[in-house]
Amino acid sequence: MIASSASRAALLRLSGRQFSSTPAAANIDKLGVIGLGLMGHGIAQVAASAAATNGIHSSIVAYETDDAFLEKGRDRIQKSVDKLVSKQKLNAGQAEALMSKLTFTTDRGALGDTDMIVEAIIENMDLKKQLYSDLGKECKPETIFASNTSSLSITEMALASGRADKFVGVHFFNPVQIMKLVEVIKTDHTDPAAFNTAMKWVEQIGKVGVTCKDTPGFIVNRLLVPNLVQAISLVERGDASTKDVDLSMQLGAGHPMGPLHLADYIGLDTCLFIMEGWVKDFPDEKAFMVPDSLKKMVEANELGRKTGKGFYHWDGDKRGDPVE
């Protein structure tokens, strides 16, 4: 969802704060993570693990908007760490060192002196833009902002922040603790020094960074989501069954799971949200389309794994037979 050149120019005319003479932080000593949900808690944990192992961070500020969300995020990290201890992948001392790097807070002021902030809140552009507008005024001038969005425009958020030169995307994949890839996104405004710092940080926490410009879906989702939509369309037209579509991509293309299995796992509502946004913003892009059957399944709350029924029946994270 890249802002048009006209809207970018208008936003730049309205703001005199887009670029500053203050250089971006060169090293990420103090990290902030905003949002401790599915992605954010994993990012905080991985950063804390690296900090405890190689000392890249003195501390990680883990921020949520209220105590209930904060405690849920803390519990998610603690349970994940405890699981690693039970599997003897960490000892008790290492687990304690990891958790000690995290400072959990609902005080947004604690983020003010961080060197970089990774945002992982809900995929709502208005909320993100307001957050970045506020952070741009509250954080020290050197702070780099990094959004974990999977489909929204980095440029639009960057311009809202008032420091577009210190803004990047860092798109992690779920589960963060396991998946190695991070897409590091730069806009036309990103200062190379800020981008290089973000890329270096990704490598320091044990991930593999790939570079992409601010294009819809970046690399993975730009290729993946239209593929899922084409699989849904095959079934919608009656050209092939759910079982045969997935089996074909597993045995014929070497994919670990079929596209309909994956769509269910991701969430059909998420697939619809991404594609509807792209269709709205890029109506001339023929690869972007929304199957009617996908809309109907979401309207019926058949979202896949998260509701127990989509293209397959689900029992928690365990996939059952295809829905007939």
Q: Which residues does the annotation mark as catalytic?
A: 150, 171, 183, 221
**Can you say how many angstroms the Cα of residue 19 is from the centroid of all Cα atoms in its chain?**
25
**Can you say how many angstroms the Cα of residue 188 is from the centroid of all Cα atoms in its chain?**
21
What is the rounded distance in angstroms from the CA atom of residue 191 to the CA atom of residue 202? 17
What is the rounded distance in angstroms from the CA atom of residue 160 to the CA atom of residue 302? 35
Would strands 102-105 and 144-147 be described as parallel, antiparallel, or unpaired? unpaired
**Cβ atoms 173, 155 nearer than 8 A:** no
**Quick one: CA dihedral 221, 224, 229, 232, positive or negative?**
negative
